[in-house]
Amino acid sequence: MIQSLFSRTDSFIMFLSVLLLMMMMVSWTEAGYTGIVFSHTSKDVQGNSFTVVLRYKFGYSSCAEAESFSSCPGCSKKIDESSGEWCLREYTTWGSQSFYSYYYGYIGTWINNRNGVSSGVALMYIEGRKRSDINRPNSSPKTGILPVMRVPSNCPRNISLLTFDPDGDHVECRHGSNSNECSTCTPPSVLSLSSSCSLSFSPTNSSDEDSYAVQLMMEDFPSQTINMTYYDGSTVSINSTSSMSRIPVQFVFKVDPAAPSCIAGEYLPRFLPPTPEHGAQFFINVTETIEINIRAEATQSVITELLFSGPVNMTKSSSGSGNFTLTWTPSDSQNDDKESHPICFVVQANASSSIYQSELRCVIVRVGNISSIATPSPPTTSYVVVLQLKISTTLSLKDNKDEIEKAIKDELIRRGLPPDIKVRLLSDGSVKVNN
């Protein structure tokens, strides 16, 4: 059950009473919850208020169960599903909000899991006070995950969560540790977590094969001391050790029976070019369509499907075994403009009755004029950027290199990159861009 908790942080007793009511409302829910990821984006500051866009992607064992759990049936939209295992849906809402902070949350019932987590608690803390460095409230980090991530018990695996922050803040992860973040806060014994949001799995015994509930919190931290302004004009200072938004990242980690081989490209699918690298960025406008081409191979298993988490109305298609395309056109009706949208995916394969997943890869699609998505100065993070654009010209690459570089630079600046970028056209036809 999703519920907006618009109680200000100094009204904690009120918050607790609403939380208890939520627990009673969902006590009947069947065990089928497989995780959730929240995010929020601040836009359009006017006076002492702003527009906030809230998104949550939630997984259940089936699409029917995922649809029926919400207090607003029909309000969420399906993203993707793995038949017989999970269904991923998204609910989006937005509206005007004054400069104060509050919680937005969910409670459900997890599928059976090895670490004994029954009640699922997922509360997002929204930092809604105006920041002095960007002159608007904070936007949360952006990340994504599939409802179920799997690995054979004898194969090592690292899951590097996407840690993109629209404001350029430092991002860290930790396990949920209190009643706002988890009911039973027992981390999976088979996973280790770094503050940089990387989960590591080492080969383990067959006795550890099972499903585990993962309950993480992702937080962003400013790069310097900044002032936060309330709706009434009062201010408070926070420094680089103070977290701002706190978003839940929850999913099921499934340890499967051992594989005959752990070499990527044999049983476990391996990504091949032109699959984008983890953390790549794409820049498009709300009227444009993006296509992300994904290719993978597995010589000892049969690739069956691409599984993804991404924006509403994104579609997937296949042009043959191991060749997939994700296609999406941002929509004003979904408030996609001026926002960063995470897309995460794996390729899945079968051999006999066994299922094998590739590594997780995630990219970011940034929609609209990037200059309107301000970043603090100096920026704290650098990214690999992938741009999908077409520039038609009759100029010769050999004789008109400078003119072509200028045309590319002009288009990149139009898309929102800073005007001091340096563009270099390489001999193989690729383009290198530096600040």
- Identify the CA nearest to 354 among candidates 63, 153, 111: 153
Q: What are phi and psi of 372, to 5 degrees?
A: -80, -10
Residue 349 has pLDDT above 50, yes or no: yes
Q: Are 218 and 171 in contact (CB under 8 A)?
A: yes
For residues 223 and 139, membership in a common domain is answered with yes
Query: What pLDDT was estimated at residue 246?
Result: 97
Q: Are 123 and 337 in contact (CB under 8 A)?
A: no
- Identify the CA nearest to 283 among candidates 213, 370, 347, 189: 370
For residues 366 and 244, membership in a common domain is answered with yes
Residue 386 has pLDDT above 70, yes or no: no
Domain that holds residue 39: 2-372
256 in a structural domain:
yes
For residues 302 and 415, membership in a common domain is answered with no
Query: What pLDDT was estimated at residue 387?
Result: 52
Q: Are 257 and 287 in contact (CB under 8 A)?
A: no
For residues 257 and 406, membership in a common domain is answered with no
pLDDT band at 405 (very low <50, low <70, confident <90, very high): confident
Query: What pLDDT was estimated at residue 408?
Result: 79
390 in a structural domain:
no
For residues 341 and 274, membership in a common domain is answered with yes
For residues 74 and 199, membership in a common domain is answered with yes
Residue where a domain terminates, one of 372, 387, 417: 372
Query: What pLDDT was estimated at residue 379?
Result: 37
Q: What is the pTM of this model?
A: 0.82
Query: What pLDDT was estimated at residue 161?
Result: 98
Specify which residues 211 forms β-bridges with: 254
Q: Cβ-count burial of 301 within 10 angstroms (0-12 exposed, 13-18 middle, 19+ buried)?
A: buried
Enter the tokens of residue 22: 């939520």
Calpha distance 3→70 (Å, rounded)? 9
Residues 150-158 have a mean pLDDT of 98
Query: What pLDDT was estimated at residue 51?
Result: 95
For residues 325 and 405, membership in a common domain is answered with no
pLDDT band at 70 (very low <50, low <70, confident <90, very high): low
Calpha distance 209→201 (Å, rounded)? 12
Specify which residues 246 forms β-bridges with: 125, 219
For residues 336 and 408, membership in a common domain is answered with no
Query: What pLDDT was estimated at residue 302?
Result: 97
For residues 97 and 185, membership in a common domain is answered with yes
Decide: helix, strand or coil at residue 305.
Answer: strand
Residues 347-374 have a mean pLDDT of 86
- Identify the CA nearest to 121 among candidates 14, 250, 12: 250
Residues 142-151 have a mean pLDDT of 98
270 in a structural domain:
yes
| Residue 300 Cα to chain centre, angstroms | 31
pLDDT band at 432 (very low <50, low <70, confident <90, very high): low
Calpha distance 337→368 (Å, rounded)? 5
Task: Answer with the residue of higher pLDDT: 378 or 52.
Answer: 52
Query: What pLDDT was estimated at residue 389?
Result: 56
Query: What pLDDT was estimated at residue 333?
Result: 87
For residues 346 and 290, membership in a common domain is answered with yes
pLDDT band at 158 (very low <50, low <70, confident <90, very high): very high
Task: Answer with the residue of higher pLDDT: 287 or 301.
Answer: 301
How many structural domains are present in the chain? 2
Enter the tokens of residue 220: 């962003």
Residue 200 has pLDDT above 90, yes or no: yes
Distances (CA, A) of 84 to 90, 117, 124, 350, 366: 19, 22, 29, 15, 33
For residues 167 and 42, membership in a common domain is answered with yes
Q: Are 130 and 182 in contact (CB under 8 A)?
A: no
pLDDT band at 401 (very low <50, low <70, confident <90, very high): confident
Average pLDDT, the chain: 85
- How is 107-153 classified by DSSP, letter by letter? EEEBPP-TT---EEEEEEEE--SEETTTSSB----B----SEEEEET
Enter the tokens of residue 137: 């409230």
Residue 82 has pLDDT above 60, yes or no: yes
385 in a structural domain:
no
Residues 102-111 have a mean pLDDT of 86
113 in a structural domain:
yes
pLDDT band at 328 (very low <50, low <70, confident <90, very high): very high
319 in a structural domain:
yes
Residues 334-344 have a mean pLDDT of 95
Q: What is the bridge-based pairing of β-strands 339-351 and 302-309?
A: antiparallel
Lowest mean pLDDT among 133-142, 168-177, 327-336, 364-373: 364-373
Calpha distance 68→85 (Å, rounded)? 17
Q: What is the bridge-based pairing of β-strands 2-5 and 226-229?
A: unpaired
395 in a structural domain:
no
Q: What are phi and psi of 411, to 5 degrees?
A: -70, -40
Which range in 69-83, 116-130, 262-276, 363-377 is most confidently predicted, on average pLDDT? 262-276
Q: Are 197 and 171 in contact (CB under 8 A)?
A: yes
Question: How far separated are the first and last CA of the chain, in Å rounded?
Answer: 45
For residues 425 and 298, membership in a common domain is answered with no
379 in a structural domain:
no
